[in-house]
Amino acid sequence: MTSVATPQAALDDLREHLGSRRRQETDPFDTLYRIYVSGLLGLFGFYLALGLVDDVAIDPTRIEWARTQGPLWVSLVAAVAIMIGVRSGANGGPLAIDDLELHHVLLSPIDRATALRTPTWRMLRAAAGIGALLGAAAGELASRRLPGDQMEWVAAGLLLGIGISLSGVGVAFLSAALPSLRRPLIALSVVPVAWAALDLWLGSATSPTTGFGDLAFWPLDPRPIAAVAIVITVAAAVGGWLVRSRLSIERAHHRSQLVAQIRFAFAQQDIRSLLLLRRQLAFETPRRRPWFRIGEGGRIENRFPILVRDARSYARWPLSRIIRVSGLAVIAGLAVAAMWHGTTALIAVGGVALYLAAIEVIEPLSQELDHPGMLELIPVAPGHIAVGHVAAAAIAMSVVWIGVASVATLATLDWQVGTAMAIAALPGATAAVAAGALSIKRFDSPAMVVPAEVEGPRTLYRLLWPPLLTTAGVLPVLMARRAVFLDEPWVQPTTTVACIVALVAAASVGWIRARDDFSMAAQEHMK
C-alpha cells in the first residue's frame, strides 16, 4: 500500500488493495465456468418458456384489454415494489454492510457519505442490472403475443425493469434516513398500493405509478405520461444517493448480521433457517393475542391433538404474514388466469407463488422440528406426527386454494376455470404442503455417505423438486384449458390429471412418513 494524504484517499487505497487480494484468491477459470453454466441454464429455461408462449394466439379483444387494463396492472406492481422498498428501509435496509467495514470504516473519522459511497453505488448498480435482465425477458415474452416490434418491447421492458428496481431501492434509502418514523412509514407504504388498486377498480389513471404502466406498453400505445416513470426513477435514485449518510448504524449492524446468516443458510439450503432469519429481518413476531381461541382439554383436542395444535399456531399469525399469504394467493390466481388465456409460461409463476404460500402454511411442522428433544419424548413415531401436520396444513392450504380459484375466476369471468380449480383443489393443496414439508424437513443422515458424483444431482433434485411438485398441482387446469381450446370435453382429462397429481402427492407424503424409519434402519445397518 502506498502512503496517502487524506482519509478519503486512504479508504480508496484500502478498498483497492482488498479488491486486488480478492481477485488474486479467486480462480478466474472457476469464475468463468460458473458464469458459463449459469448462463447456459438461464438461456435454456428462458427459451423453454418462450416455446410455451406461442401456443395460443391472442385475439383482438385481449389486445384491447392489454391496451387499457395492462398499464393499470403494471402500475399496481410498481406500487407494490415501492411499498417493499419503504418497508425494507424502515427495517434497516437496504444496505448489508460487512461487520469489519461497519466497525472500522463507519466508526472512523471519515465522512459517512464518503464511506458509504462504494456500497451504495454497488447496490444501485446491482438493482439496475437485475431489473434490466428481468425487464428485457418480460419484454421478449410480451413481444411473442402482442403486436409491435420485438426490439421496442425488449427496450420498454428493460427501461421498466430498471425503473421499478431503482425506484424501490431509492425509496428504501429515503425511508432508512428516517428511522424514528419506522411505523408511520410502513403504514404509509400501503397508500400507493391502495391508490393503484383503486385505479384498477375504477379504470382510471390517477396513481403516480401509472407512468410505469404506460412505459411497459409503449410499443402498443405510446403515451407521453410514461416520462413520469423516468422522473420518479431518477428522483428516487438521486434522493437515495444523497441521504445515504443518514443510515442508522445500529439497524445496519442488525441487518448485516442477519444477512450473513441468511447467506450461510441459503448455501446450506436450510429453508427453515431462511424463514426464521427473514422474519427477524422484518421484525415479525407472533401475536400475543390470538385471532381466535380453542378451549383446553376438549373432546376435539383429545381426538385430534395435531389439528388443534396447528389451529392454535395459525391463530397467532401476525397480520403481515396473513397479508403476505393473501398476496401470494392473488399472484397465483392472476398467473392461472393468464395461463388460461394462453400464456402457458406463467404456470411457473403460479407454482412458485403457491410453493411460497405452502412454506408459510407448513409453519406448525417447522415449529415441531425446532424442538427435536420434545419430539423424541412423544410415544409416537416422528413420521406419523409429520404426516399429521401435513394433513392439517392441507386443510389450511385448501383455504388458500379457494382464494386462488376465486381470483382466477374473477379475472377470467369463466366458470370453467373455477370448476377446473375445484377439481384440482385437494390434489393441488396436498402437493403444495407436501412440497413445503420436503423443503422444511431435512433428511440428511450422517450414516449415509453419498459419493461426490451423486451429491450434485441430489442437491439439485432437493432444490428443484418441491417447486415442481407444487407447479404440478396446477396441471389439471392447464389440461382443461387445452381441451376447451380444442373444443373437446374437458372434465374427464382434467380429472385424470388431478388423480395422477394426487398419486404423486400421496407418494411424497408417504416418503415423509417412512423416511425417518428408513434413516434409522440405515444407521443400524452401518453399525
pLDDT tens digit sequence for 252-262: 777 777 777 77
pLDDT at site 162: 92
d(CA 76, CA 74): 5
3-state helix, strand, coil in the chain (%, to 5): 80, 0, 20
The alpha-carbon radius of gyration of the chain (Å, integer) is 25
Judge residue 197's burial from the number of C-beta atoms within 10 Å of its C-beta, 0-12 exposed, 13-18 middle, 19 or more buried.
middle
* Identity at 107, one-letter amino acid code: L
Average pLDDT, the chain: 79
Residue % of the chain over a pLDDT of 90: 6
Find cell 466497525 and name the residue: 103
- 371 versus 242: which is more confidently predicted? 242
Nearest of 86, 264, 331, 95 to residue 186 by alpha carbon: 86
Say whether pLDDT at 497 is over 80.
yes
Model pLDDT, residue 189? 82
pLDDT at 108: 73
**245 secondary structure, DSSP code:** G
More confident residue, 447 or 419: 419
In the block, cell 383436542 appears at 301
Which pLDDT tens digit goes with each residue over 375-411? 666 766 667 788 888 888 889 999 999 999 999 898 8
What per-residue confidence (pLDDT) applies to 444?
46
Of 213 and 299, more confident: 213
Tell whether pTM > 0.85.
no
The C-alpha angle with vertex 324 and arms to 478 and 272, in degrees rounded to 5, equals: 90
Q: Specify whether the backbone of 285 is left (phi greater than 0), alpha (psi in -120 to 50) or beta.
A: beta
d(CA 179, CA 191): 19
- For residue 231, the tally of other CB atoms under 10 A from its CB is 12
DSSP three-state, residue 63: helix
Q: What is the pLDDT of residue 308?
A: 84
3-state secondary structure of 39: helix
Position 436 scores a pLDDT of: 86
Residue 122 has a pLDDT of: 85
CA angle, 183 then 185 then 187, to 5°: 70
Distance of alpha carbon 201 from alpha carbon 210, whole angstroms: 14
